[in-house]
Amino acid sequence: MSLPKIYPDGSIILVKPDQLGEQVGRIIIPDVARENEKFVNTTGSLVKIGAAADFCIYVERQLEGAYRFKKLTITPEMLPLRVCFPKSAGITIYDDTDEGRVEYKLMLEGDIVAFLEEPEWTEPGEPKEAASVD
């Protein structure tokens, strides 16, 4: 995925919403329904964060034989990350690329209600190969 030429400022983030497919299970979704806001998915990929965005999540990690929660700050190197947000969050903007028009949402960092995946990270001083979290 190429990064869009959209640069969020301050604590604003840029999310690429998932597109609703033509079919869900055995149910075919008509074009009119897919364009209707009620059917818009509320999941997507966090692709860019503003310079003042202070994303912190708590991840479970086994430290010294016991599982503990550790505060983790999200950095641009950890992106893209799958996220969940309210359907009313942010404003919709479009980026015209060679592949066509791509939809994005600009929203506040507080609009993210859940991370759907854990980012890869390492403890300070830990080698990069040990980045997977079990």
Confidence band, pLDDT 50/70/90 cuts, at residue 7: confident
Residue 133 domain-assigned (yes or no):
no
Tell me the pTM. Answer: 0.68
Residue 125 domain-assigned (yes or no):
no
E-state strands within the chain? 12-17, 23-24, 27-28, 43-49, 56-63, 66-73, 81-84, 91-97, 100-108, 114-115
Residues whose CB is less than 8 angstroms from the CB of residue 31 and which lie 6 or more positions away in sequence, other chains included: none
Domain enclosing residue 70, as ranges: 12-119
Residue 27 domain-assigned (yes or no):
yes
Residue 88 domain-assigned (yes or no):
yes
Residue 132 domain-assigned (yes or no):
no
Residue 126 domain-assigned (yes or no):
no
Total count of domains within the chain = 1
pLDDT tens sequence across 38-62:
545 688 899 999 888 777 777 777 7
Residue 45 domain-assigned (yes or no):
yes
Residue 129 domain-assigned (yes or no):
no
pLDDT tens sequence across 53-108:
777 777 777 767 777 777 778 888 888 888 889 888 899 999 887 778 888 999 99
Cα 6 → chain centroid: 15
